[in-house]
Amino acid sequence: MKAIINNKEFIINEKDGEPGSFEVNGRLLKIDYISPAKDTVHLLSGFGSYRVCLVAYDTEQHIATVQVNHCSYEVKLKNESDELMERLGLKVKVHKATQVKAPMPGKVIDIMVKAGDKVSKNDSLLILEAMKMENLIKASADGVVKQVDAGKGMAVEKNQILITMES
């Protein structure tokens, strides 16, 4: 599998029969991990400790928006069939609903969109205050806001649906 983060490509292979062992760009990486909640993983490696939360996943583009220790990253994932389709110049267009979920418990401070709005990738959708920090939640892909599930001033729980979009 390939993961592309900030235009840097990582080739990742899980080592068979060795849980927590991965080969990343040809180097062996051993990771201990636990998953205390759905869409959240705590990782421990020789490089440090990381809390990784899945914020959104675009199944058409294979793009995951993740928060690693409260910093957001966009990760483009490619498997062998994606690479083959790309080499052949084929693309499959699927209309689907994407849910934007709260990456952590907090309070909705502001909502920048309403149902029916067209948004582009990385457009600001809302501001979530959590742990005395304001977190700007952005669109992971182009689409149309189908429904705004959160309200201004509303307290939300981790993984609660904030906005439903359709691409």
Domains and CATH numbers, the chain: 2-166 (2.40.50.100)
What is the percentage of the chain residues whose pLDDT exceeds 90?
51
The reported pLDDT for the residue numbered 94 is 53
Q: Do 2 and 83 touch, CB atoms closer than 8 A? A: yes
**pTM > 0.85: yes or no:** no
The mean pLDDT value of the chain amounts to 88
Which residue in 123, 104, 101 sits closest to 112, CA to CA?
123
pLDDT tens for residues 42-94?
999 888 999 999 988 887 778 899 999 989 899 998 887 777 777 777 665 55
The confidence score (pLDDT) of residue 119 equals 94
Pairing mode, strands 133-138 and 106-111: unpaired
For residue 78, the model assigns a pLDDT of 85
Cα distance between residue 124 and residue 106, in whole Å: 17
Give how far Cα 134 sits from Cα of 36, 57, 70, 110, 127, Å: 24, 22, 11, 10, 6
Contact 102, 115 (CB under 8 A): no
CA–CA separation, 123 vs 25, rounded Å?
32
- Range with the poorest average pLDDT among 8-17, 65-74, 92-101, 137-146: 92-101
**What is the average pLDDT across 154-162?**
93
- Rounded Cα distance between 57 and 163, Å, is 13
pLDDT of residue 160: 93
Query: What pLDDT shows up at residue 91?
Result: 63
40-76: burial string, b at 16+ Cβ within 10 Å, e else: bbebeeeeeeeebbbbbbbeebbbbbbbeeeebebbb
**The pLDDT of residue 46:** 85
Residue 32 has phi, psi (to 5 degrees) of: -100, 140
